[in-house]
Amino acid sequence: MNQIILSIIANAGGVGKSTLATHLAYDLAVRKKHSVALIDLDPQRSLDVFCGLEPAEPAQSITSVLSQDFKGEWPLATAWKIDKVSVCQGHQAIEQTARTLVIHPRGHYSLSDRLKKYPLPHEVVIVDCPATLGLLISNALAAATHIIIPLQLEPKAVQGAADVIQWYINQSLDLGLDPRPDLLGFVPSAYEAGTAMHRQLLEQLPVLAEQLNTKMYPHIRNSKEFVNASGQGLPLQIFRPGHKANDDFHEISNDLSRLING
């Protein structure tokens, strides 16, 4: 049994990172029966909303994990009353923590060091990253066994994907990651079949994926029900169990389950 640490990386906000993180966590825990930990590195604390959690104090958030005096007591909350899904909540103080990590010799490896010295028992760890390619995402990259890149279907999506890939390659080299985390693939998000631009871009993206020797996953469809569900602090799978969009996450979680099982 292998532990998979999946970092969800993008260089823009609003591309569906938290939607992907929470719905994968639910699918992996309930449909595939794996234990999952979510780590929120985003100071916006989106996972609090998606998981229906009250805001955490700094001492009960990822901020304490990345502090120099962390002793291994991971602050974990349970999401949706599902024992198999735990959340290490975010906090806006993570931005200040990141500024202190800059001057630390192993500042880029802080999350990786914590996960190695004080490993989480979960089969899957999903890291929800902030929207800028800074030190916090470098931490997510250094800690990851795999990364996945959600893409918003807009004209700059192809260039944005190429930029993230270039950053991933360069940063892996700079950090001396050997082997570097595997790129699981791209995930087009918020797809609307009735929008011509979305259809055109969806036709172009597989060519990009082939050029980059990676996978293009089926798109996550756009639905107001994602917003309605998150407003209730629930994944769509609980809020609307029969909604077709719930199936959009299956292929990714199937691949992750195969990796876990070796």
SS3 215: coil
List the structure tokens of 246: 């719930």
CA 46 distance to own-chain centroid: 11
User: For 68-118, what is each residue's pLDDT tens digit?
Assistant: 899 999 999 999 999 999 999 999 999 998 889 888 889 999 999 999 999
Nearest CA to 55 out of 82, 80, 79, 90 is that of 90
CA atoms within a 13 Å half-sphere pointing along the CA-CB vector of 105? 0
Task: Measure the CA–CA gap between 86 and 77, rounded to whole angstroms.
Answer: 5
Q: Are 123 and 262 in contact (CB under 8 A)?
A: no
Q: How many residues does the chain have?
A: 262
List the structure tokens of 102: 């800059």
Comparing 86 with 211, the larger pLDDT belongs to 86
Distance, first Cα to last Cα, the chain: 6
Task: Measure the CA–CA gap between 87 and 100, rounded to whole angstroms.
Answer: 24
Topology adopted by domain 4-256: Rossmann fold (3.40.50)
Quick one: pLDDT at residue 124? 98
Domain segments of the chain as ranges: 4-256
- Is the pTM value of this prediction over 0.75? yes
